[in-house]
């Protein structure tokens, strides 16, 4: 039997137990996991150094190397995430709705665990701890399939967390980590309908495309964010400057970073000569329309491919538009329904943008970087969903739940 099938079967069996753990058991385990990660920091860093040395030899791009890298601060961040989870209310068995029917039936809709959640992700080892903790708290088992570039880091983190569960006499099989490299293992995982309830691909566009095309299991798509900032004619340009700067440069490798800047023609002459040189000075490569290029000679000509691209790096497309309508249509055409922002002091324009732009998060006068489980107050997250089904935007604890209807009667039959 393959590693994947074996672990999927173990996860399925453990999921039934995970669903009935008490909040106290789960929270105690999460706090111990946090402690164990901190205590084992030297071995985690050692494993991560191995992964990083291999990545550097393989000439991994800098944005990806940033995601792969663990340090004391990031490990403390992982531990803090687990402690945050421990402090959140238990989502399992939460009453969502109560219905009383005329025939006397009492219907209660309650949140229940999804069962077995499989995560396929790239070389970002902090996801291992986040996902294991979040799924445990959600009462589900988890199957982790991290990128091979982070194999050593992922293995040590999963081993530590399983050890914590074992020491607490909880079923360690709630956490499964797949070591087998290569696409065949992933393909097998995506076929195991009987054992896995939900598949979350977290990573680049190609991983997500492949998962959606191949998986026989329900998928939650995450991550591809071609996020726009639209600077309206009624924008406060100081706010616009700060927001564009933050959205593009604060952490360019993540999905909620801005990838495209739209500027209303009425403010182009006052705004672009300020923001463009500043971005260039920060190392941002600019691709702009003809009008944009009049304000800064270093701007490369933008193609349709540029407007559709998620750079995930210090690179951005820029376009001057004639109206709010044109901005909305541009976003409809090129956006990925992740996060879209308008900067404006005009309430009517703001409300029109909020209403007409279809994305997981639509922001007024705030950086796109806020589309994040932590920033929304959800605690940890498993990514940002860009699909419309089940959950949209940050995937926190509550988004990892299903529900069921409990119906209490006294002998009712249907007429």
Contacting positions for its own copies (CB under 8 A):
16, 19, 99, 101, 105, 107, 112, 114-115, 193, 197-198, 212-213, 216, 218-220, 236, 238-239, 242-243, 245-247, 250, 332, 350, 354, 358-367, 369-371, 375-377, 387-390, 392-393, 402-414
Residue partners of 197: CB distance under 8 A and separation at least 6: 114, 115, 116, 117, 140, 217, 218, 402
For residues 240 and 262, which CB has a smaller minimum distance to its own copies in the complex?
A: 240
What are φ and ψ of residue 89, in 5° steps? -65, 150
Residue 100's SS3 state is: strand
Name which of 135, 279, 120 is nearest 200 in CA terms.
120
Instruction: Show the beta-strand stretches assigned E in 161-269.
Output: 175-177, 198-202, 227-231, 258-264
Name which of 117, 136, 115 is nearest 31 in CA terms.
Answer: 136
The least distance separating its own copies from the CB of residue 362, rounded to whole angstroms, comes to 6
- Tell me if 403 sits within 8 A of 111, measured CB to CB: yes
The first and second tokens of residue 124, run together, are 């970002």
**H helical segments located in 105-179:** 126-137, 151-167
The nearer residue to its own copies, 297 or 377, going by C-beta atoms, is: 377
Closest CA to 316 of 287, 278, 281, 295: 287
Quick one: tokens of 114? 């999804």
Given a contact cutoff of 8 angstroms between Cβ atoms, the answer to whether 339 and 330 are in contact is no
Q: By three-state DSSP, how is residue 370 classified?
A: helix
Query: Considering the complex, what minimum distance in angstroms separates the CB of residue 356 from its own copies?
Result: 8
Query: Which residue lies nearer to its own copies by CB, 99 or 269?
Result: 99
Q: Which is nearer to its own copies, 42 or 411 (CB)?
A: 411
> Residue 257 or 299: which CB sits closer to its own copies?
257
- For its own copies, the closer of residues 131 and 152 by Cβ is 131
- CA atoms within 13 A of residue 135's CA, in its CB half-sphere: 34
Q: Which is nearer to its own copies, 46 or 194 (CB)?
A: 194
Q: Which CB sits closer to its own copies, 84 or 180?
A: 84
Q: Which CB sits closer to its own copies, 113 or 147?
A: 113
Q: How far is the CB of 37 from its own copies (least distance, A)?
A: 24
Cβ neighbours for 135, distance < 8 A, ≥ 6 positions apart = 18, 117, 141, 142, 174, 175, 400
Q: How far is the CB of 282 from its own copies (least distance, A)?
A: 14
Nearer to its own copies, 149 or 257 (CB): 257
11 Cβ contact partners less than 8 Å away, ≥ 6 residues apart: 116, 141, 142, 143, 173, 174, 176, 195, 196
Shortest gap between Cβ of 85 and its own copies (angstroms)? Answer: 18
Whether the Cβ atoms of residue 96 and residue 177 lie closer than 8 Å to each other: no
C-beta of 146: minimal distance to its own copies in Å? Answer: 23
User: Which residues share a beta bridge with 229?
Assistant: 261, 341
């Amino acid at each position: 039997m393959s590693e994947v099938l074996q672990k999927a079967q173990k996860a399925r069996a453990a999921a039934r137990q995970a669903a009935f753990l008490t909040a106290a058991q789960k929270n105690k385990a999460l706090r111990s996991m946090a402690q164990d990660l901190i205590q084992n920091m030297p071995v985690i860093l050692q494993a991560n150094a191995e992964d990083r040395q291999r990545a550097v030899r393989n000439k991994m791009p800098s944005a990806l190397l940033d995601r792969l890298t663990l340090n004391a601060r990031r490990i403390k961040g992982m531990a803090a995430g687990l402690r945050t989870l421990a402090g959140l209310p238990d989502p399992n068995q939460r009453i969502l709705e109560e219905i009383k029917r005329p025939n006397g039936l009492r219907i209660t809709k309650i949140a229940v665990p999804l069962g077995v959640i499989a995560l396929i992700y790239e070389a970002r080892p902090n996801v291992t701890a986040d996902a294991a903790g979040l799924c445990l708290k959600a009462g589900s088992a988890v199957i982790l399939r991290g990128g091979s570039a982070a194999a050593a880091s992922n293995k040590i983190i999963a081993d530590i967390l399983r050890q914590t569960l074992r020491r607490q006499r909880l079923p360690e099989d709630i956490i499964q980590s797949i070591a087998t490299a290569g696409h065949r293992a992933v393909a097998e995982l995506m076929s195991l309908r009987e054992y896995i309830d939900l598949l979350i691909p977290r990573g680049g566009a190609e991983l997500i495309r492949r998962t959606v095309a191949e998986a026989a299991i329900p998928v939650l798509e995450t991550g591809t964010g071609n996020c726009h900032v639209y600077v309206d004619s009624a924008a406060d340009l100081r706010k616009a400057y700060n927001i564009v700067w933050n959205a593009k440069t604060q952490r360019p490798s993540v999905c909620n970073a801005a990838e495209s800047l739209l500027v209303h023609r009425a403010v182009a002459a006052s705004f672009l000569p300020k923001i463009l040189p500043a971005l260039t000075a920060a190392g941002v490569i600019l691709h702009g329309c003809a009008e944009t290029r009049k304000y800064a000679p270093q701007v490369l000509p933008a193609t349709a491919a540029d407007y559709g691209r998620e750079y995930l790096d210090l690179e951005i497309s820029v376009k001057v538009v004639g109206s709010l309508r044109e901005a909305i249509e541009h976003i409809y055409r090129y956006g990925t329904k992740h996060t879209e922002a308008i900067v404006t002091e005009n309430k009517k324009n703001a409300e029109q943008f909020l209403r007409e732009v279809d994305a997981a998060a639509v922001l007024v006068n705030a950086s796109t970087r806020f589309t994040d489980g932590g920033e929304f107050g959800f605690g940890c997250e498993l990514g940002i969903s860009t699909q419309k089904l089940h959950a949209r935007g940050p995937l926190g604890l509550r988004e990892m739940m299903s529900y069921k209807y409990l119906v209490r009667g006294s002998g009712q039959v249907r007429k």
